Amino acid sequence: MNTANLQLEGLYLAIAALNNALVAKGVLDRDEIDQALRLAEQTAVGDERATEELSPAHRDAVAFPARLLMLANRMASEGEIAGFSELARMVGTSKTPYNDQR
């Protein structure tokens, strides 16, 4: 496996842990984090380059971080987050086709 992929896995889990800490400290609630991540996902896949130049698989790749972090946010409990493999599997099974794929 590419080392960069492992580093990204660690980064996603670190961000998920930070999001969890923000909720625990009362800085943000889960809904606010979810809204921010949804905006990030919409920006990523709604970008002109994404819709005109990228295949659906590449658009999914661009949206993957936000989707994974949204799931981690929803599944988080006090001080605990789901593992990367579980979250990644759930991202893959929960995605829907883009408008231009129907």
Name the packing angle between helices 30-46 and 56-75 (round to 10°): 180
pLDDT (0 to 100) of residue 8: 93
Domain ranges of the chain: 3-94
What pTM was computed for the model?
0.83
- Over the stretch 32-86, which tens digit does the pLDDT of each residue have? 999 999 999 988 888 777 667 888 888 888 899 999 999 999 988 766 788 899 9
CA dist 68 and 27 (Å) reads 21
- Over the stretch 13-39, which tens digit does the pLDDT of each residue have? 999 999 999 999 999 999 999 999 999
